[in-house]
A = this chain, B = another copy of it.
Amino acid sequence: MLNIAIIGTGLIGGSMALDLRKHPKVKKIIGVDNNQEHLYRAKQLGIIDDSLPLKQAIAESNLIVLATPVDTSIRLLPEILAIVDKQIVFDVGSTKENIIKCIDNYPRRGRFVASHPMAGTEYSGPDAALNNLFRNKSVMICDADGSDDDALEKVKEIYGFLGMNIVYMDPKPHDLHAAYVSHISHISSFALSLTVLEKEKIEKNILDMASGGFDSTVRLAKSSPAMWTPIFMQNSGNIVDVLNSYISVLQKFKNVILEHDSSKIFEMIHQSNEIRKVLDKFQQKAEKAEMTE
């Protein structure tokens, strides 16, 4: 039987708990959180069975899910590995290089599996937790060789149960790709929101002019600063690189518009349309997965 400790009872930890509760071997889900209101809500919502302080929760569990903001995870993981025995620990954070580095050469390194499920929403906290959030999406497992065989197998089984497609990746390329594909989308949205809010002091104008396009582009700007600040701090090198590229593409756009060069504007938009192929495959993958359920 499995007793699971969920450290961090927010969107990701909470959603995982909701699904893992349906696992035939799961007996008890224990919540750990320094936010007492989150613990209270998580219990009320049936996400956790009980709440305990960190040490006691670890002692009573055989599987530990580290679902805190990435800076907190990096602080907690060495503490956790110092007291685990046969328990298995895995994290779900958006950056992987630093968390793996911080426990390099630790005697119990093998009990840990570094992972990043590519799932989420722009909401946060236990009230944002959703059933089936992970189904048919990908999870990255990094530095799998550093994990003990039994730990890796158990975490793979858990992600399989959640309906995820497992991809192995080294931590360095993981953080680079995450910056390009996930982190930059968020910065682009945060910056768009700030630009519009700065210029459009009259809310009614935004509301009248907003259409589905604006809504979808700026949606991620609702995301939690408590979650995203540490990600930008941990992955700062890659993110600064991608921001430089993004800013230079925008400057090129500005220049061709300033020069009234319609054929170059056309060409840039036409090139950007290439993303259709990727998005269509992404959608096909999701639809195919839904059909085979």
Chain A residues engaging chain B, CB cutoff 8 angstroms: 118-122, 137-138, 140, 167, 169, 173, 177-178, 180-182, 184-200, 203, 205-226, 228-230, 232-233, 236, 239-240, 242-247, 249-251, 253-254, 257-258, 260, 262, 265-279, 281-283, 285
Contacts and interface: CB of A to CB of B under 8 A. Distances in A.
Contacts of A197: 271-272, 274-275
B217 A185 contact: yes
19 contacts: A119-B211, A140-B209, A177-B206, A177-B208, A181-B210, A187-B253, A188-B192, A190-B253, A193-B272, A193-B274, A194-B272, A195-B245, A195-B249, A207-B281, A222-B273, A223-B273, A228-B269, A229-B269, A236-B260
A185 to B, nearest CB: 4
Given A199-B242, A217-B220, A273-B222, A268 B190 contact: yes
A226 B266 CA distance: 7
Q: How many copies does the complex hold?
A: 2
A146 to B, nearest CB: 21
Contact of A199 (B178, B180, B198, B247): B180
A239 B258 CA distance: 9
Contacts of A217: 185, 188-189, 216-217, 219-220
A212 B250 contact: no
Nearest to A187: B253
A148 to B, nearest CB: 25
3 tightest Cβ-Cβ pairs between the two chains A and B: A225-B269, A181-B209, A193-B272
Contact of A208 (B140, B208, B283): B140
Nearest to A197: B274
Given A193-B272, A206-B278, A246-B192, A265 B233 contact: yes
A244 B233 contact: no
Contacts of A173: 205
A240 B215 CA distance: 22
A230 B207 CA distance: 25
B257 A240 contact: yes
Contacts of A254: 240, 243-244, 247
Contacts of A229: 262, 265-266, 269
